[in-house]
Amino acid sequence: MITKLRGLLPAVLLGLLVLLPAPALAAPEPVAAVPVVLTQDPPPGPVLDPAESDRANNEKTKNQLIAGGTAVVLLGIVLWGRRVRAKRRKSG
């Protein structure tokens, strides 16, 4: 009995949703166009210190070198492992 009610309840709710009219929405009020006048120039962009940007570039380069070296080492391990496996497969 309860399983029939669980199946019937969503069907009834969906039927009510479809059959009942949607509420009327209020139309937005017209807005008068107002001209925009800028009185100030936008503030200048940030001031970059060359020493800070050089230091940041050096750190980025160092991180890229470390990542590249790690990738080369991992590639070497993979190639060496494949060579060892091929030799074992060929001999046995």
Tokens for 71? Answer: 């990738």
pLDDT for the residue 14: 76
Residues 13, 16, 18, 20, Cα dihedral to 10°: -150
Q: Which pLDDT tens digits describe the chain residue by residue (92 residues)?
A: 667 767 777 787 777 777 777 666 666 677 677 676 667 777 788 887 888 999 999 999 999 999 999 999 999 999 999 999 999 999 87
pLDDT for the residue 44: 81
List the end-to-end C-alpha distance of the chain, in Å, as a whole number: 69
pTM more than 0.85:
no
pLDDT for the residue 88: 93
Q: How many residues are given for the chain?
A: 92
pLDDT for the residue 23: 67
Provide φ and ψ at 6, rounded to 5°: -65, -35
pLDDT for the residue 25: 64
